[in-house]
Structure 1
């Protein structure tokens, strides 16, 4: 192939974990609402642009909830003593213990009033992982908090959102809009692969001098799993992995790597037998995700190696490759908004922007070529591109390449796109053979003096994420007759775990 923890991107808001045993009135709620949601937006009707489904929002204010005009409204008279004596609420909320949630809404009141917003059990002790008093006035404002759930509805409890409006000193009209409760977003963290090559090696070598640092620096941070022809039942394997991630309340990252003619037959060669076999494999891969939150890196190298200059595909196989990538992009897009797909777009040397335009003698792939090939691969169906996969370019260089590529995609295709950067091994940037400035950067063969990069997290400077895509310590493979490869280094075949290489990446040695 040529090619920890996660912080919430935005204002840091204190986590609230109040527990209140409050009585709640649900007499006007339907006895059976829609199936509860566990992932993504838990209150999808919260914009109130249409009437909410029966059995979702209810009122105990003396009249039913009024959702005309695109907002949720209620009027409360005086004479109630407690906040919970008059409420608006939404039943059917599913929560996972330990998972992070974000509640947000817009609200106003006809006169200055204090209300209480909660996410709580709908019965029993009414335990409330979140409860917050809010002072409203006639100006509509947006409110947002992030909290960690202390209850698990899978254990039998049900949960609800409530706006507790009682105890007012004067008759008051309340208006709520854009009510949102979200989970299974990046702020919950990336799922760490419990069966990574690094973890397997650590478990098998408890007394090795390198074990502790490989465990803490690599195995505990390996957040991407690769799927290919080695998965004899890819649907079952993907389902098992995604299920483990969602049970942990975290986001899994998967690499689909099974395109026919993979890596132009190089060290990472292989792939499905033909287009029909690939589409069948991809259908199983997609079915295993089943619409649950996931990040997918789609086919490293496949787009760049379809360029005519690569000369490893016949014209017919080139067209077939675009068709297969389109098929994959289309079916992943059909999984819904919680599946984020990033088509691989090479790296800053391989596809260095404007090289072909600036220097006709240079056979590198230019930005326009890459943009056009991405268009034929279904970029408008994807969420963005992946750059620097299994390579060593610095994050700054990779962001610069991706930013210029995104601009060219917009210019030529009219598609807005973002990107993810593989930061697994770019802590020291790219490698050149010492004393040979004509060598170019060497992005494979396990080069020396490379170092771990930033662990998976939300990106910056236009990048959606910085991800460990190539798992550190997994070998790139070597060609003994390739003079660009360092003389030292492990002889492991591509994909095998090398503790020597892993230790060098940790130490930068």
Structure 2
């Protein structure tokens, strides 16, 4: 597979490896006293994603060398390897294969561990281990395969952001508990952190999701203090500035509520957040929350590190406001509903900052491409609750006309989206064309 993308690169004038760019700085009260990631770390470039080489070859055949070159360059940028299931023997084999490939590149792999029971509230990325015992066996296999290798391991995106009680599903269909979830994440963290050469991170959600105090409470319960820290923005589109503020606040909150001499000891709910005194959708107010931590941190010393997924945040989140104007003419209610689902295959997204451990930001260990760019978030539609559309206000020839088909359709892309994890050619092209910083 790697030879196939190399051949495609030759056809489109031979791209070199990406140049690592530093992340942008933001205000932070944090001063790191924990172990730091070597700023010169080279991250692993996995084999190209399924579907990418075929798209590149098709573009070359049609004479679109410019887009073929951009997609080829995207596939030469380091990104995470997702461990999403299989038997313990199968996932161990995947880990060992990746470690061997990374050794050839003299690079450090980033693994996403993603097999928790009841994964993704049984929605687009549903799946996971059958039960807690099966999950622990699977985690043990990952830990054994990693051995003493150098690696970053990101434990279960959404697992702490979407605890079972957040899913609002009947226990008859979704028989999982928050206590089980916390125990499973904690077990994974402990097993994977035993390797002295690993850096393990837990789910810190994103800057437009859990309030700082809420996610701090969940991280502490799952054992974040026994790990390197937490990860942010996985598969989302929040800007670097938002993520860096949010990450520093979580680290500050952890320091305050775990310091026995601090007035907030044991009370994460006292911590300021993106919701107060800041206003979550008005970034100009976020300095108020930063100021709150400056005034209230006292002698507490933040040491909890974090990483940020910059794979698709080059243009920031889509407010969907354009769909309220001509020619779409969608109502304010429809636009608001679209914005609520703007985490799912939004239009207008671009690749973000290239992976680097040289961030220049205290406690920010790395900017990483965690979500595989070009892969679908799922079949984003009205049936799944992430799309809304008035087809009487705007439609196109060939779009569905009956309610049942419209419920499965994505009007933002004018198609039925690929399943979660499948290659999405139209989205891949938009990501490379709107990359910030630009490719090429």
| TM-score of the alignment, normalized to the shorter chain, above 0.5 | yes
- Structure-1 separation of matches of 2:367 and 2:149: 21
CA positional deviation for 1:191: 1.0
**Does residue 343 in structure 1 map to residue 197 in structure 2?**
no
CA positional deviation for 1:493: 0.6
- Structure-1 separation of matches of 2:22 and 2:40: 5
- Structure-2 separation of matches of 1:285 and 1:342: 15
User: Contact 2:80/2:112 (CA < 8 Å) preserved in 1?
Assistant: yes
Q: How does 1:166-245 map to 2 (within 5 A)?
A: 185=38, 187-197=40-50, 199-201=52-54, 205=58, 207=61, 209=64, 210-216=67-73, 218-230=74-86, 233-245=90-102
Specify the alignment match of 1:290 in structure 2: 147
Q: Which of the numbers 352, 361, 376 marks the counterpart of 1:453?
A: 352
**Does residue 394 in structure 1 map to residue 239 in structure 2?**
yes
Deviation track 1:92-148 (CA, whole Å, cap 9, x = no partner) reads xxxxxxxxxxxxxxxxxxxxxxxxxxxxxxxxxxxxxxxxxxxxxxxxxxxxxxxxx
User: Contact 1:457/1:467 (CA < 8 Å) preserved in 2?
Assistant: yes
- Structure-2 separation of matches of 1:329 and 1:483: 32
Specify the alignment match of 1:374 in structure 2: 219
Q: Which runs of 5+ in 1 are unaligned?
A: 10-183, 352-365
Change (3 A) 1:252 1:339: same
Change (3 A) 1:269 1:329: same
- Quote the RMSD (CA, aligned, Å): 2.6
Q: Which has the higher helix share?
A: 2
- Structure-2 separation of matches of 1:200 and 1:329: 35
Specify the alignment match of 1:383 in structure 2: 228
Change (3 A) 1:483 1:266: closer
Q: How does 1:467-486 map to 2 (within 5 A)?
A: 467-481=368-382, 482=385, 484=387
**Does residue 413 in structure 1 map to residue 258 in structure 2?**
yes
Specify the alignment match of 1:265 in structure 2: 122
CA positional deviation for 1:441: 5.3
Deviation track 1:191-235 (CA, whole Å, cap 9, x = no partner) reads 10024336544576453534322111x101142111111576001
- Structure-2 separation of matches of 1:472 and 1:8: 19
Change (3 A) 1:483 1:275: closer
State the SS of the aligned residue for 1:460. coil
- Structure-2 separation of matches of 1:480 and 1:199: 24
Specify the alignment match of 2:392 in structure 1: none
**Does residue 487 in structure 1 map to residue 405 in structure 2?**
no
- Structure-2 separation of matches of 1:494 and 1:199: 15
Q: Which of the numbers 94, 107, 112 marks the counterpart of 1:255?
A: 112
TM-score normalized by the length of structure 2: 0.66
- Structure-1 separation of matches of 2:218 and 2:68: 43
TM-score normalized by the length of structure 1: 0.58
Change (3 A) 1:254 1:321: same
Q: Which runs of 5+ in 2 are unaligned?
A: 1-17, 24-36, 260-301, 325-331, 389-409, 436-440
